[in-house]
Amino acid sequence: MSAILLERDIVHYEVLGRGRPILFLHGWVGSWRYWIPVMQAASVSFRTYAIDLWGFGDSAKNPAHYGLADQMRLLDGFIEEMGILRFAVVGHGLGAVLGLMYARQNPAVVDRVMAVGLPLEEAMIHPRLRSDSPAALADWALGRLPAAEAARSDAPKADPAALQTSLTALAGADLGRMWRTANLSCLLVNGLNDPVVQAPRLEQLADMPELMHAVAFEQSGHFPMLDETSKFNRLLSDFLALASGESPRDLQLKEEWKRRVR
């Protein structure tokens, strides 16, 4: 277990591999731990970092840090402490929101963003996130796949106030403007069976900027990185292989490797 002190509180993180850096940000259910299969695959060519946001996993449970602005300062402090100069972000749910927000505010350091389960508007988030305990949310969102146990085991560590504070902040945020004005390479990934965050509607897909593209995983729920790990890893690899500033619009779940990983 690795940790640093930021604002006098502990931030837990893990790191694997060498090469260009990738920062993995977890969502409302679970912790850094469910990124392990993806980190292991990516660490062959990249240096992969994953952190527990304030209020989740093994990071500090201090309600003073649970706002979106506070989580953004966590990212700032972590990136400075690690000496990371330019990196890709892979974020999920809450982590996707934070990743895209951080990229818009810091275009010089974020090269690209893969946003998994990004709510394109606040109403696309299921209200159950506001009422159930972290453990109950894990049972609802994860299903019973063996690969989901890492996320399920860490879900009860979350402070429910961390979820509620982030959701309250999102209610006042202009999520539509955030993604419509994104000016960097951004790949949206959604599971079509996601009970937590609705997939983009047709009119939203048509409204996406040139550097943004959406890919749907037909057999996935809220955790495509666990439901269809091989497909997810291949798509991430293809996305990371793009030249800096290149649009991901030609990326698809290609038939030749969809067949290969079934």
Tell whether the model's pLDDT for residue 250 goes beyond 90: no
Give me the pLDDT at residue 253, please: 59
Q: Hey, how many other C-beta atoms are within 10 angstroms of the C-beta on 144?
A: 8
- At residue 261 the predicted structure's pLDDT band, cuts being 50, 70 and 90, is very low
Q: What does pLDDT average to over the chain?
A: 93
- CATH H superfamily, domain 2-261: Alpha/Beta hydrolase fold, catalytic domain (3.40.50.1820)
pLDDT in tens, 215-229: 999 999 999 999 999
Nearest to 76 by CA among 48, 47, 54: 54
Tell whether the model's pLDDT for residue 157 goes beyond 60: yes
pLDDT in tens, 84-95: 999 999 999 999
> So where are the chain's domains?
2-261
Cα angle value 165/2/161 (rounded, 5°) = 15
The stretch 239-248 carries a mean pLDDT of 95
Distance CA 24, CA 187 (A): 14
State the alpha helices, DSSP H only, in the chain: 36-42, 68-82, 94-105, 134-142, 149-154, 160-171, 175-180, 202-206, 224-227, 229-241, 255-261
The stretch 128-132 carries a mean pLDDT of 94
- At residue 1 the predicted structure's pLDDT band, cuts being 50, 70 and 90, is confident
